[in-house]
Amino acid sequence: MSRTFLSQLTGSFSMPAAENPTVVMMEAAYRHHGLDWRYLNCEVTPALLADAVRGARAMNWAGFNCSIPHKVAVIDHLDGLGESAQIIGAVNTVVRRGDRYIGENTDGRGFIASLPQTFDCRGRSALLLGAGGAARAIAVELALSGIGQILVLNRDAGRGRELASLISGKTAASAEAMVWDGVKKIPQQVDLVVNATSIGLYPGVSACPDIDPDSLRPEQLVADVIPNPPETAFLQAAKQRGCTVLDGLGMLVAQGALALQYWTGVEVDRSVMRRELASVFDSTE
């Protein structure tokens, strides 16, 4: 009998996990490409992250994603890092290579891939809300794509300065950190505004970053990394002021497709993943 009954396992470690729709698009891609693979959405507390990684090793998982709050902490439990993850200092995708687990980062490249073709990064200015794992990945890839200036707005001044220093020290872009100590206005020179925080994530869908929405300009591109809900309160406010907006589903699909390629070697059909996500959110409205 040539058929086997042992699926390749992948998944996600995050906290919380219930609102993470990644499993839907990943399993859709596996089905579409005829791959006997599974993707498990796992809620893992920070205290048990090491146990979760050991469990993945014990069960011979092909790899896994890490989301909030594990993107930096997981590094201590891996055997090495890919080039992008080393620069960024955060991991969202872990890949089994032989008996070693290597950390990669597809967040930033996924964000760049989701940008409208009409948006040319070269010489532009970007404002990042937040300085966590997603913000670091996006900042690095924006800088490598030619963004001239990156402003980092973060409540923890030290983390903001650390990210700005990383960008200025390792890329050609200039970077500046600003302390987020109340409602802030968007600087007028900014072309791209990115909410790289979890503010507005389900179930807190009414929450909005402390930004003066009236400081947004119609010619700005406003993006949110949150996939659930696809249209956050922040994006709604930007749309009302004439801005072009970019939801988190595009980034989610693009970074997920890159992770699947790492694991399976298959360049998956992203449209299948996007349609599956869209159908899920349409059914929940």
Cβ atoms of 132 and 156 closer than 8 Å: no
β-pair type (93-97, 100-104):
antiparallel
- What token pair was written down for 18? 């219930």
Active-site residue set: 71
β-pair type (192-195, 221-224):
parallel
Residue 46 CB contacts under 8 Å (≥ 6 apart), including other chains: 15, 69, 70, 73
Residue 151 CB contacts under 8 Å (≥ 6 apart), including other chains: 125, 126, 127, 128, 175, 176, 177, 178, 187, 190
Residue 247 CB contacts under 8 Å (≥ 6 apart), including other chains: 223, 224, 227, 230, 231, 232, 235
CB atoms within 10 A of CB 4: 7
